[in-house]
Amino acid sequence: MVSTSASSVAPESKLVQNARGAVLLERIKAKLGSMLSEAALSLGDVVVSVERKHLLDVVKILKLEAELQFNFLSSVTAVDWLDSRATRFEAVYHFVSQSHGFILRLKVPVPEEDCTIDSLVSLYGGANFMERECWDMFGISFKGHPDQRRVLMYDEFKGHPLKKDYPVQGKQPRIPLRAPEVQNTARDMNRPALFAINKRKTSGAV
């Protein structure tokens, strides 16, 4: 994943980063209100958490409100908190407001027993492959995704390899070749014998 820290976007001082983050934090609190579960400033970036039932409404506000204008979704990933938290998974989104220079990290808990969350493809076309990768690696299903299938692993792959309980020494099923091997036609070609060009002449002993 590409780093989305404030320092990777512009070479600002920590003071400027924190000031910009503080402005965004107040705007976020004002616009999202009771839909926020948590909101804090971390290393100049605003980090917020919302329940998954609010995800689409929250993201629409983030994108469309003139004071926010988060018009770029830079990454979609997840965290597996196996045995560390009551809710096992957490979907994590990184947004950038190119108009205001804001950076935002949005976190949404996703329970293992109902491992689904709304897709953002209708709002950000770039979410397509990132959500597919997240499903492929973690098994989080994105409701409303137009083409949810594996993107890194092959279709017959069993399981999701970034889940912490994935059996790393497990065996995957053997599958037939996608394109059966064919005869190497180079073996049937007739060519003249190779000859040396500018062959070096050997001289007698000095």
Q: How many CB atoms lie within 10 A of CB 147?
A: 10
What is residue 52's DSSP assignment? G
The structure tokens listed for 17 are 């980063």
**Residue 182 banded pLDDT, cuts 50, 70, 90:** low
pLDDT value at residue 1: 46
According to DSSP, the β-strands at 102-110 and 116-118 are unpaired
Q: Domain residue spans in the chain?
A: 6-164
Q: How many CB atoms lie within 10 A of CB 36?
A: 16
According to DSSP, the β-strands at 102-110 and 45-50 are parallel
pLDDT value at residue 177: 76
Q: Which helix (H) or strand (E) holds 29?
A: helix 14-32
Position 196 pLDDT exceeds 80: no
C-alpha 4/C-alpha 158 separation (Å) is 32
Beta carbons of 21 and 6 less than 8 angstroms apart: yes
Q: Which CATH number fits domain 6-164: 3.30.460.80, 3.40.50.10860, 3.40.630.30, 3.20.20.450?
A: 3.30.460.80
DSSP string over 82-125: TTTSSS-EEEEEEEEETTTTEEEEEEEEE-GGG-EEE--TTT-T
pLDDT value at residue 184: 64
What is residue 9's DSSP assignment? H
For 2-71, list the strands marked E by DSSP.
36-42, 45-50
What does the pLDDT look like over 140-151, one tens digit per residue? 999 999 999 999
What does the pLDDT look like over 79-132, one tens digit per residue? 999 999 999 999 999 999 999 999 999 999 999 999 999 999 999 999 999 999
pTM over cut 0.75: yes
Average pLDDT, the chain: 88
